[in-house]
Structure 1
Amino acid sequence: MSISPKMALLEEYALVARALSAPARLSLLEQLAQGERGVDTLAEKTGLTVANCSQHLQQLRRSGLVTSRRDGKAVIYRLTDAKTLELMDLLRIVAERNLAQVEHILRGLSDGEEAPEPVSRADLATRIADGAVTILDVRPADEFAAGHIPGALNTTLAELEWILPTLDPTIEIVAYCRGPYCIYAHQAVAILRKQGLNARRMDGGLPEWREDGRAVLTKATPE
């Protein structure tokens, strides 16, 4: 028995929704938002086995959220387009607005305190131009090397206490990380504010900054 065009469309829309239904696949999308990656790298970054990682990537590819290319024997994946990143962020927004457990988890990152409002990317760009902000990139060093906001300092959460004495307490600190699902910036801000520093996180992460068309440096690019 054939189905109606509407039901056929809904089946396709549901394919995308099902692709987003596994935490492992959301984690893979977060990694691919940083840039294209091979299966081995994605497996290492997400803690998945290579076989399991490949299965999840096939689901994402079938739903149209990611695409792939061959590089010799390796298969390299990337987000299909910027709309995938927008979809990831919309999922976050809906969850934060409607799920009490999400708010509870986020408050826990700040020891129960309400986190300060994030700094918009446009505002941060203006303040960078004015030299009125310290920027912290709290992603791993390899991700920082692949691309970062000009002038950003790279530190992991574990290393953050080492650089505290070098931070100017009179200048606001803005931290950023991977994007919609990354919590490193939330945690960094909580640590910095506990030390009495004026710190906030940037709204979004490096992928959104890049998608805005703003400058991104690599380690090979002169500051």
Structure 2
Amino acid sequence: MPTSEKRCFKEALYEQFARIGRALANPHRLELLDLLAQGERTVEDLARETGLSVANVSQHLQILRGARLVDVRRSGLYAYYRLADPHVFSVWRSLRTFGETRLAEIQQVVASYFNNRDSLQAITLQELKERLAEGNVIVIDVRPYEEYLQGHIPAAKAMPLEELEKRLQELPRDQEIVAYCRGPYCVFADEAVALLKQHGFKALRLSEGLPDWQDEGLPIEVGGESR
């Protein structure tokens, strides 16, 4: 193959990989991927969660869709977006982990926001898996109920953060309670654990979230208890 043809091949090949890099190179689009890892969402839902306009969210989603990172399902007047493939979350999780190890600024930002996290004991995915197998832990999912329905850790009880204080009587006081939410930068689990400890419960937060659990190949359940 002539050198010129090899060069054209290389440029065409790496340009396609660069499409993915360009799609990921925006903080709002990374946040959208993180939210879509919880389950399918409408543009309007995503706009409310991110504080962006519907038009702005739509533009970001079109870029993600152009890079084949998200898919869309239309129903009536609404467009429902989802991750195109489970590997999309794996890519974001790898980027997140790499950033945490290479950029001190990430740790500084996290530390400045989660200023009391050191006082909240955490449990890893593997440790939770082992304790669930032993049957000596209660797991609560403190995300919004709609996200719980789309997937949750088996045996986890749906207890959205805004309902938790009113439902403390449903939880046993003689067992350890693990709260989990969307991921390591989600505050729901931290707030849940702080509330539980305030009321005398022994509580831990899961160090990561439901998408990380699933990314490890661990089972999830879909649907849930009636309300």
TM-score range, shorter chain: 0.7 to 0.9
For residue 148 of structure 1, give the secondary structure of its aligned residue in structure 2. coil
What letter is aligned with 1:51? Answer: A
Q: Map 1:1-223; keep pairs closer than 5 Å.
A: 4-107=8-111, 108-111=113-116, 113=118, 116-120=121-125, 122-163=126-167, 167-179=171-183, 181-192=185-196, 197-211=201-215, 212-219=217-224
Give the distance between the partners of 2:102 and 2:202, measured in 1 at CA: 29
Distance 1:196 1:90, change over 3 A: farther
Alpha-carbon offset, residue 60 of structure 1: 0.5
What letter is aligned with 1:146? Answer: Q
Distance 1:113 1:220, change over 3 A: closer
Identity of aligned residues (%): 42
Aligned length: 221
Q: CA RMSD in A?
A: 3.2
Give the distance between the partners of 1:172 and 1:135, measured in 2 at CA: 9
For residue 183 of structure 2, give the secondary structure of its aligned residue in structure 1. coil
Q: Deviations over 1:80-107 (max 9, x none)?
A: 1111111111121122222223223333
What letter is aligned with 2:41? Answer: R
Q: TM-score, length-normalised on structure 2?
A: 0.78
Would you say the 8 A contact 1:132–1:172 is kept in 2? yes
Segments ≥4 residues shifted beyond 6 Å = none
Alpha-carbon offset, residue 209 of structure 1: 3.2
Q: Deviations over 1:151-172 (max 9, x none)?
A: 3233344544445566445422
Give the unaligned 5+ runs of structure 1. Answer: none
For residue 16 of structure 1, give the secondary structure of its aligned residue in structure 2. helix
What letter is aligned with 1:135? Answer: V
Give the distance between the partners of 1:179 and 1:134, measured in 2 at CA: 19
State which structure, 1 or 2, has the greater radius of gyration over its C-alpha atoms: 2
Would you say the 8 A contact 2:122–2:206 is kept in 1? no
Give the unaligned 5+ runs of structure 2. Answer: none
Stretch moving more, 11-20 or 148-157? 148-157
What letter is aligned with 1:56? Answer: H
Distance 1:12 1:53, change over 3 A: same
For residue 53 of structure 1, give the secondary structure of its aligned residue in structure 2. helix
